C-alpha cells in the first residue's frame, strides 16, 4: 500500500481547529496511499473529518484550522512545505477537487466556456481556440450532449446532474494526476448518480488518474472503489481492500455501519443499529473514540489503540477487533 509509485501518500496528517471553545482534532493522524488508476473510498459519517482530510491535501484549510503535523507526498513531493505559489500551480492542474454542490465550483454569472477556458489558460500557454476545443472535448467526455452549444450556456441553465458533470469536466481539463471528490453524488437522484459513477469509473480506467471518493454511503464505494478507509472521529479506524473491509470487517464501527444498511438485512426485521451518536470532536477524551458506543469495549479502550494489521494489507485501530469466523 505504500509503494514508491503512489500518486499520493498521506502520512500521519493532523489538522486541528483552534476554536474559542477548545481544540477540535478534525483529522488526527491519518495515513493512506493512492496509486495511479486507483479509486479509494473515504467513508464516514458527518463530522468524522473526511472532508477536512480532502481540504488538507488541497491546502485549503482556513483559520482557525491549521495543519499541525504529518506529510502529504504528492508524486514524492511534500505539499505541506510547498509555497503558496507552487500550490496554486498544482491546484486545478495536477490535483483537482469536485464538491457536493457544483455551484461551489461554478461562477453563476459567467458562461461555461469562459470558466473552462480560464481554467486551462491559467495553467498553460495555449491559444484561445485550442483551449476552447479542449473544453469542448472535456464536456463530451463526461457525457454532456451537444457540447458546442452547451459551452455558451450559464450554470443556471443546467440541471443538477448536468452541473455536476460540468464541475467534473472542469476538474478534468488539465488531466490531473489526482482527483478528490467530496460527496459528489449525494444531492443527485439514483439514475443520475449511476451516470456520474459510470463516468468517474470510465475516466479513472482510461486516464489512469488516482481518485479519492469521499462519501457517507458504503454502498456507493462498494461499486466503485478498489480500497476503503473508514474514518471515525478524525481517525482512520479501518482500511484495506474493498472486499476485505466489506466482507470481513474487523472494527466494531465498520461492522455496525454495514449492519445498518437496510438492504443487507432481512426485510421488516429491526436493523443491527449502533447505539448513541457520533461524539463531538471538541475536547475529545483520550482513548478509542468509539468505546462509548461499542459492545466490545473494556477498560483498556481508555488507552489509545494502535493501528494493527491482522491480515496482510488490512489494518484496524482497535483493541478488540472482530476476528472470529475467519482465518
Q: What is the binding site for other proteins (CB under 8 A)?
A: 45-46, 159, 161-162, 189-195, 197-198, 201, 216-220, 222-226, 242-243, 246, 256-265, 267-275, 277-278
Sheet containing 307-311: which strands, arranged edge to edge? 95-98, 178-182, 210-215, 39-43, 227-232, 235-241, 314-317, 307-311
Minimum CB separation from other proteins for residue 210, in Å?
A: 16
Considering the complex, state which of residue 262 and residue 286 has its C-beta at the smaller distance from other proteins. 262
- Residue found by looking up cell 458546442 in the block: 148
Considering the complex, state which of residue 194 and residue 285 has its C-beta at the smaller distance from other proteins. 194
Minimum CB separation from other proteins for residue 123, in Å?
A: 30
Minimum CB separation from other proteins for residue 163, in Å?
A: 12
Minimum CB separation from other proteins for residue 241, in Å?
A: 10
Minimum CB separation from other proteins for residue 27, in Å?
A: 19
Half-sphere exposure of 185 (CA within 13 A, CB side): 22
Question: Quick count: other Cβ atoms within 10 Å of Cβ 132?
Answer: 17
Considering the complex, state which of residue 264 and residue 326 has its C-beta at the smaller distance from other proteins. 264
Number of H helices, E strands in the chain: 10, 12
Considering the complex, state which of residue 123 and residue 293 has its C-beta at the smaller distance from other proteins. 293
Q: Tell me how far apart the alpha carbons of residues 32 and 2 are, in angstroms, rounded to a whole number.
A: 8
Considering the complex, state which of residue 148 and residue 189 has its C-beta at the smaller distance from other proteins. 189
Considering the complex, state which of residue 71 and residue 260 has its C-beta at the smaller distance from other proteins. 260
Considering the complex, state which of residue 72 and residue 236 has its C-beta at the smaller distance from other proteins. 236
Q: Tell me how far apart the alpha carbons of residues 42 and 215 are, in angstroms, rounded to a whole number.
A: 6
Minimum CB separation from other proteins for residue 258, in Å?
A: 7
Give Cα 277 to chain centroid, integer Å.
Answer: 22
Minimum CB separation from other proteins for residue 103, in Å?
A: 17
Asked if the bond preceding 168 is cis, omega within 30° of 0, the reply is no
- Residue 171 makes CB contacts below 8 A (sequence gap 6+) with 96, 97, 98, 105, 179
Q: Tell me how far apart the alpha carbons of residues 10 and 6 are, in angstroms, rounded to a whole number.
A: 10
196 forms bridges with which residues in the sheet?
A: none
Please name the helix (run of DSSP H) or strand (run of DSSP E) that holds residue 54, with its range, or none: helix 50-58
Helices 112-123 and 160-172 cross at an angle (nearest 10°) of: 20
Amino acid at each position: 500500500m505504500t509503494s514508491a509509485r503512489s500518486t499520493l501518500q498521506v502520512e500521519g496528517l493532523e489538522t486541528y481547529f483552534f476554536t474559542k471553545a477548545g481544540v477540535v482534532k478534525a483529522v488526527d493522524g491519518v495515513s493512506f496511499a493512492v496509486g495511479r488508476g486507483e479509486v479509494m473510498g473515504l467513508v464516514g459519517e458527518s463530522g468524522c473529518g473526511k472532508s477536512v482530510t480532502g481540504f488538507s491535501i488541497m491546502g485549503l484549510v482556513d483559520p482557525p484550522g491549521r495543519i499541525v503535523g504529518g506529510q502529504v507526498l504528492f508524486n514524492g513531493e511534500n505539499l505541506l512545505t510547498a509555497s503558496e505559489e507552487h500550490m496554486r500551480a498544482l491546484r486545478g492542474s495536477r490535483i483537482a477537487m469536485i464538491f457536493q454542490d457544483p455551484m461551489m465550483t461554478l461562477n453563476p454569472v459567467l458562461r461555461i466556456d469562459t470558466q473552462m477556458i480560464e481554467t486551462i489558460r491559467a495553467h498553460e500557454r495555449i491559444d484561445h481556440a485550442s483551449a476552447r476545443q479542449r473544453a469542448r472535448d472535456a464536456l463530451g467526455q463526461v457525457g454532456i450532449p451537444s457540447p458546442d452549444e452547451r459551452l455558451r450556456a450559464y450554470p443556471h441553465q443546467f440541471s443538477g446532474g448536468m452541473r455536476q458533470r460540468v464541475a467534473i469536466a472542469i476538474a478534468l481539463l488539465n488531466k490531473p494526476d489526482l482527483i478528490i471528490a467530496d460527496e459528489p453524488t449525494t444531492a443527485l437522484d439514483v439514475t443520475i448518480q449511476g451516470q456520474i459513477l459510470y463516468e468517474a469509473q470510465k475516466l479513472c480506467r482510461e486516464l489512469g488518474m488516482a481518485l479519492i471518493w469521499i462519501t457517507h454511503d458504503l454502498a456507493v464505494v462498494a461499486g466503485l472503489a478498489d480500497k476503503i478507509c473508514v474514518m471515525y472521529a478524525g481517525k482512520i479506524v479501518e482500511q484495506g481492500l474493498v472486499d476485505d473491509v466489506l466482507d470481513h470487517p474487523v472494527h466494531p464501527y465498520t461492522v455496525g455501519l454495514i449492519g445498518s444498511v437496510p438492504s443487507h438485512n432481512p426485510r421488516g426485521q429491526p436493523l443491527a443499529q449502533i447505539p448513541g451518536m457520533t461524539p463531538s470532536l471538541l475536547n475529545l477524551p483520550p482513548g478509542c473514540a468509539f468505546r462509548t458506543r461499542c459492545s466490545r469495549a473494556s477498560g483498556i479502550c481508555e488507552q489509545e489503540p494502535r493501528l494493527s494489521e491482522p491480515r496482510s494489507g488490512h489494518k484496524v485501530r482497535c483493541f478488540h477487533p472482530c476476528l472470529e469466523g475467519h482465518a
